A and B are shown apart, each in its own frame.
Chain A
Amino acid sequence: MIKLLHAELRRLFKSKLFYLGITVMFGLATWATLARYYDAKHLIGMGYDTPDGLLFIAATYFPMVVAIFDSLFIGTEFSDGTIRNKITVGKSRFCIYLINFTITTVGLLIIYLVYAITVLAFSACLLKPFETPTRVLAVFFLCSLVTVVALNALTFALCMLIHKKATSAVACMLLAIALIMGGMTVMQMLEAPEILTGPSTIVNGTVMQPESRPNPKYLTGAKRSFFQFLHDFLPGGQMLTFGMSSELPPHVWKLPIYSLISTLIMTFGGVLAFRRRDLK
């Protein structure tokens, strides 16, 4: 198992895809920070002089990176016949699954860290310090690392069960888009105001109070609890929470627990399905 792990690690560090991922995330982080610096210079007094919001914005689109990396990295293993060869020489499917999962997780965490480190390094030189408390940043950062693992568990399981590289790439990307768009839709539903108020008007110098009415789209009761759970449980929703919140939600401690649960479920389910899979 250790030999296989070493071999896979070597493959990861020789992979062009891995370095492409690092380069892309480095480029995006540099571009985002420089764009913020440009805004800070030109839009004075509009709150663009701090790096708040930059650090976790990558989390919102990271499902796409996971989808591309996993599908192409694992797809190559299938299309080259490497996985079948490993089974032929006596490695267990359980071992192959776990090692590949570990390797892709390591690769994705490095890619994710490259973005965070680049933003921190450039913003330390170009922008003012964060206004968001360090405690919030630290908690979000640690939680987002666990979410990356959960996201990888989900996408990785799909890649190990679809042997065709192109099909798994398409399926993973569609899954990532569904996670992001689904997360956004649920977030919008949860953030709908309870009371709708029209604009206030000024008549003869007097401010007229706007008319208020209950919002029919406001979620209540069990429906609200269900959508809140869905938003917190799915990695897409969690990533949006990190990317778009500036303060800790009261239930933030639940997020890594949900991520661990989904990682365990997906890995266990994935191993079971992969053991029964006909590799021809």
Chain B
Amino acid sequence: MMNLFMAGLRRYWRSTVFWVSVIAALLIGAFCGNLTYENQYVDVAYFLFMQLLYAVLLSLSIGREWDEGGLRNKVISGHRKATVFLVELLLGICAVLVLTLVSLLPFALLCGGFFPIDAFHIGMDCLLGLLLLCVVSAVIDVALCMLIPVRAVSAVLCILLVLGMALAVDRINSRLHQPEELCKVSTRYSEETGLLEYQREYYPNPQYVGGNTRKLYSVLVKLIPFGQANEYMEIIYDCTRPDRDEAEINTDILSTGVFYSIGLAVVLTATGTALFRRKDMK
């Protein structure tokens, strides 16, 4: 397994796609760092760009292994399919973490001083949560690419999956953030006082999602990496507000997010390994 891993590392190190991705990660980090400095909040688009980058790198790298018969050769030479899958997964995770750290460097330099030093512990928790999400993204991409032998199709599917998850989270969040009640303000001229009187009338919002559907949506948002990233960004935004009160910041995701991420990663790895073991490699 170690030999396979070292050979894989060399493969990534010599790959043009990997170095192009490193440059792209630097540019994304610089662009989003500058944007954060100007707008004074971290846009979730940063996470979206990075996820797209992971999808491109992993689909092209693993797709190349399929194209050149590298995966089949490893199986023929006596390595177990599960080992091959796990090694590709580890390599994918390493590559994704390298890209993330590379992009964080210009990001931190450009928006340095943006995050308040007294909320540093919350910031570090968010950063660790986000790094864990990068690992989950890598697991999703690797599992997909290891099961689809056609390089172009796996690249298209990985990119579509990232966009689909972002769109799904956006739709779910727009429903979850609906207020339970709506307010209708009506005016009436008072002949006694000669002034306009305002009356507020509250009525239930038909777009509000309650009950089990709300629970399901909440779990889904936390399961999808983009949704969890959104919640981390909200915490970071709350921490940077001048009138912030640390007690009021909802930090539930900092304690529960880890379990969702690890759970999803484990389930996907187990499913991916099981399906890859049954895959006909022709």
Chain A residues in contact with chain B, CB under 8 A? 42-44, 46, 64, 68, 71-72, 75, 165-170, 173-174, 177, 202, 205-207
Contacts and interface: CB of A to CB of B under 8 A. Distances in A.
Contacts of A166: 59-60, 63, 151-152, 155
Contacts of A177: 52, 159, 163
Nearest to B195: A205
A168 B60 CA distance: 11
Contacts of A44: 206
A202 B152 contact: no
Interface in B174-231: 193, 195-198, 206-207
Nearest to B206: A43
A68 B163 CA distance: 14
| Residue from the set B152, B163, B206, B207 with the largest chain A CB neighbour count within 10 Å | B152
A64 B197 CA distance: 53
A205 B59 CA distance: 63
B181 to A, nearest CB: 15
A72 B196 CA distance: 66
Contacts of B152: 71-72, 75, 165-166, 168-169
Contacts of B160: 64, 68
A206 B151 contact: no
A230 B183 CA distance: 41
A170 B159 contact: yes
B196 A205 contact: yes
| Residue from the set B156, B160, B197, B207 with the largest chain A CB neighbour count within 10 Å | B156
A64 B164 CA distance: 12
Contacts of A205: 193, 195-198
| Residue from the set A72, A75, A168, A205 with the largest chain B CB neighbour count within 10 Å | A205
25 contacts: A42-B206, A43-B206, A43-B207, A44-B206, A71-B156, A72-B152, A72-B153, A165-B151, A165-B152, A166-B60, A166-B151, A166-B152, A166-B155, A168-B152, A169-B155, A170-B56, A177-B52, A177-B159, A177-B163, A202-B198, A205-B193, A205-B195, A205-B196, A205-B198, A206-B195
